[in-house]
Structure 1
Amino acid sequence: GSGKSSCGNTILRKTVFQSYTSSMPVTKKCEVEETVISGIHVRVIDTPDFFADDCEQAEEHTAKCRDLACIGRPVYILVMQLGRFTEEEHNIVEQMKKEFGNEVTKHTVILFTHKEELRGDTLKNYVRKTDRRLQELIRCCGSRYCAFSNSEKNKEQVSELIQMIVNMQKDSQNLNETYPEFVGKSAKRGNTGKKPTCPVL
């Protein structure tokens, strides 16, 4: 896969989600783990690839995902592998809009894995030279992107992602942007009085 589960573990700074090399999908259901990063209560949700054509129970998985993200302002992390851009990934924005609402790209960050493959080059330069369809996808997501090397344990790459999320949410507040309708409805019944939570999908 693209490395979603490994990225979740990197964000959490511990191994929670099952992750290993396989020709078949490893993540079979939505799983969740919470932590605090830089004073922010973060809920990381690891999901199956429910946009894949061969994904079973896709509707059930997306419904569970919505339920887990109902409290707080959800952030969608679109995980992609450096050097690989498939037709499925090209069409993913429209699928995300269908499942999570037309505003979803305003709350999405693209996270590339295998950062070590840059081999001294910069991520910005990689994007500048990449497939035009990928460039358009990045623009659709507000040009918010960063990269992880999941084999590295340094905190800087996680801090960069969290800061990007914080800035994105501040911008959303300033512009009074709306979040997906399911969040507003579910948050009312799910408010437990806990500290503000940032669900990361």
Structure 2
Amino acid sequence: MSQSAAQSELRLVVLGRSGAGKRSAVSTILSLQDTPQGTEAAAIQECSKHRGEAAGRQVVVVSSPAWFGSGCDPEERRRHISSFISLSSPGAHAFLLCVPVNQPADEEAKALDVLKELLGPSSVSMHTIVLFTHTEELEEGEQLEEYLITWRKDLQELVGTCGDRYHTLETRSGDPAEGKAVEELLEKVEQVVRESGTQHFSCPLYQEAEDRVRERQLELVRQTKDSEDDVTEEEIEAVREEAERSVGDLNVDVDSIFPCSSVSAAPSFLGGLWEKLTGWIKWLPRVMRREALLGALVGLFVGGPIGGIMGATVGSVATEVGRRKTQKTK
């Protein structure tokens, strides 16, 4: 890739927890065939890089495993971080954080904190877009913005941390709308670049990665040449991707960014409770789901017999209000 090509393409880094819809996001952006479900587990263990055309633009999409999660050991973290930075070097134009609308946002909030520590505050405040997924959980006809304002202040705070930038690629009206959603996303990425006043995001880790990539490119070309004078820029760029993949671990201070703490068990505990609640609620009619979940959460956090009574009451009242609202609109 020549210097001018590197400047004309858009480089996107897709981040998110396991199951957040990263694979689907990559496929939608680049109009790729979804890989079979059986290969997903293997695919998410390593960073992947895809290049293609989307909405008339040259786009590179790098997808990274959830290296910010509590289940990742220090060496895996360092390897995954080094990999996604090297593959998106000399710098990402935007980070896309996949956020399921049907999950609490504690893990994503943690991911943003880690990204600030790792790459600097501007990586989040100026270069991150929240990409909402699993929007099929919204009620029919309910708009994403309405859902965020009415029910999910935690997701609103997440969006606010990212400069009020959010998007979704999921549509309910078929392929034409999906193509429009991709075009709108890339327009938002270009707006991020304009507002930042730079060609792309950069920081010391990206600078280190680019230096190592360029050095490795020269090494690879020299292995096939008798004289360094014969090395051309085209030959150097031809081995660019191989060089990116062969860069070793970068100078990432994993221990200071991810201190060991027993507190990390609390979010996963709450996340487990949330999954159980949403799991048994899915069989209910959509008009009742949210109200039942509201009552269950009240009962959960108040606790005891009083919590059970309060939860049942809140759930019943909310369900009745929702039913009347539905009847009124018919």
| Match among 27, 49, 53 for residue 44 of structure 2 | 27
Contact 1:82 1:115 (8 Å CA) reproduced: yes
Q: Counterpart in 1 of 2:23?
A: 5
2:136 alignment partner, SS class = helix
Shift of residue 71 of structure 1? 2.5
Instruction: Name the CA distance, whole Å, in 2 between partners of 1:32 and 1:10.
Output: 14
> 1:167 deviation in Å?
1.0
How has the CA–CA distance of structure 1 residues 20 and 51 changed in structure 2, closer, same or farther, with 3 Å as cutoff? farther
User: Which whole-Å CA distance do the structure 1 matches of 2:99 and 2:190 have between them?
Assistant: 21
CA distance in 2, matches of 1:21, 1:116: 24
Structure 1 residue 186, shift from structure 2 partner? 4.1
Show structure 1 runs of 5+ residues with no match: 195-201
1:197 corresponds to = none
Q: Output the CA distance in 2 between the equivalents of 1:2 and 1:171.
A: 28
Give the alignment's TM-score, normalised by structure 1: 0.81
Between structures 1 and 2, the one with greater strand share: 1
User: Which structure's residues are more often helix, by fraction?
Assistant: 2
**1:7–1:150 CA contact under 8 A, matched in 2:** no
Per-residue deviation, residues 47-75 of structure 1 (Å, max 9, x unmatched) = 11111111241111001111111134431
Q: CA RMSD in A?
A: 3.0
State whether structure 2 residue 64 is matched by structure 1 residue 43: no
Q: Distance in 1 between matches of 2:39 and 2:149?
A: 30
Higher relative contact order (CA 8 A, sep 6+): 1
Calculate percent identity across the aligned residue pairs.
Answer: 24
> How many residues matched?
192
Residue 173 of structure 1, CA deviation = 1.4
Structure 2 portions without partners, runs of 5+: 1-18, 218-232, 238-330
In structure 1, which of residues 85, 103, 108 is the aligned counterpart of residue 128 of structure 2?
Answer: 108
**What SS does the aligned partner of 1:127 have?**
helix
For 1:180, the equivalent position in structure 2 comes to 203
Aligned position for 1:159? 183
Shift of 1:134: 2.2
The alpha-carbon distance between structure 1 residues 178 and 13, as it changes in their structure 2 partners (threshold 3 A), is: closer
Name the structure 1 match of 2:166: 145
Residues of 2 paired with 1:94 and 1:25: CA distance? Answer: 27
Q: Which has the larger radius of gyration?
A: 2
Residue 91 of structure 1 aligns to a residue whose secondary structure is helix
